Structure 1
């Protein structure tokens, strides 16, 4: 293995052979596992077939247009959240600070195992998480006008040295430096302990769409990276990794799908498979991935 230049961004490039077989080579699996453990994230370049991403992008464009058209709909309380439901596609959504969170129905456009249980992600997560299930599937869609977020961490970080779960982000179109890329702090922030950071030192790492001067100052002590992703790439990250959404300087929405997996036996109140699944859609999932979605409950 060639030595890396200090400070160099190192990603994993999936070969055509690996993509065809749906399995990382021993060398790439080792590198990806190392980056995920030490940095809290890894990018798999070319980890999805182009046609799967193109189909998802086209379908999500229709879903998002329906959400925008339904933005004046009645607010309903579902799975512990106040949200709206798109009239035609029945996608659950909300919008804050020009950032849209959309839970698309997992129909034929969104139920590909490449999206919901990407084989490369599964190869990395199984030895790390052990037994786990999917917690939710949603979009992070950033529009022009969104303010930069405060650095934050998610899903009860810092309660143990072991990861509680992982989020697999799938860009449906190019996510460049100009349209609101995710900014991450890979200096071990996913390992920071809650009892020290919040309990003893008094830092709040939960603020997203407001200013948090204390934690912004803390983040300034460490180097960060704005993550550029192309359609077909995968970003796998620990939700405890310090990160934030940035500004979209274009007139086009920037969308990444987020598939969250959580270790069995752990709980967090964010996200719910019933927002995207019902019994009929569950039964249409490929049999080999249904066990990952066994925790779904229909939301009335």
Structure 2
């Protein structure tokens, strides 16, 4: 941050000095969710080396072995991480509590600018008035809300969660003068996987696909299981060509999956429909349009993307 301090001048140097000695945990993440600044208190807690530029997901994976880092209440860390990514970076402001492995609690706030950069500030509230039954009630409520919108198998948003995200985008983004792309994709020949290798194999394919696709998305993107092997994506500030390019990157990097039941190895493909939305339209109109585009992709040979259009309003 020396260069940043130079650009900020004497007041910037003073600010960085104050942050360096503060007990508050302060961090700045860029639009790709890569850590660009962290004060010593944040680095100590989250196990980040000085000057290290690390992605948030990578940082959380590293904290599995950090005795003082955040506590993930789960036996399946990757599923927990997918669920956390489905919530991270989706709102201009968010506040929540985090437990640390050493028994402390942090109250974390996240503020996101229009360009996608995120300021994170955390305070130790272990001995505050939030303790006891009030805190437990709040945690129970937060867990219930997360469960209600999380797909149990994959950890991403479920149908209710992704449709809620679409409904929000329908109203908020056009009002802000912003467009978005809507994607509906379907894993190809998924029934053959279930029939030929068993439902456990099908479940593993879904989990691995979600993990892979999520790793290619931005923090602001919404990704959810729409039903069965269908997934819906809401991509803010994205046109149809950009969405098509994203899907191509997901296809190109698709890992080979070893099925747990038979040991067979396969690389799943998917068909996708895309539409661009620039004006306020009803969710059902958008879903109808993107479903038509997906239908065309399936009948064009599968493992491809078709860009569709909304019908004229009226």
TM-score range, shorter chain: under 0.3
Say which structure, 1 or 2, has more relative contact order (CA 8 Å, 6+ apart). Answer: 1
Q: Which structure is higher in helix share? A: 2
Which structure has the greater CA radius of gyration?
A: 2
Q: Normalising by the residue count of structure 2, what TM-score does the alignment of the two structures yield?
A: 0.24
TM-score norm. by structure 1 comes to 0.25
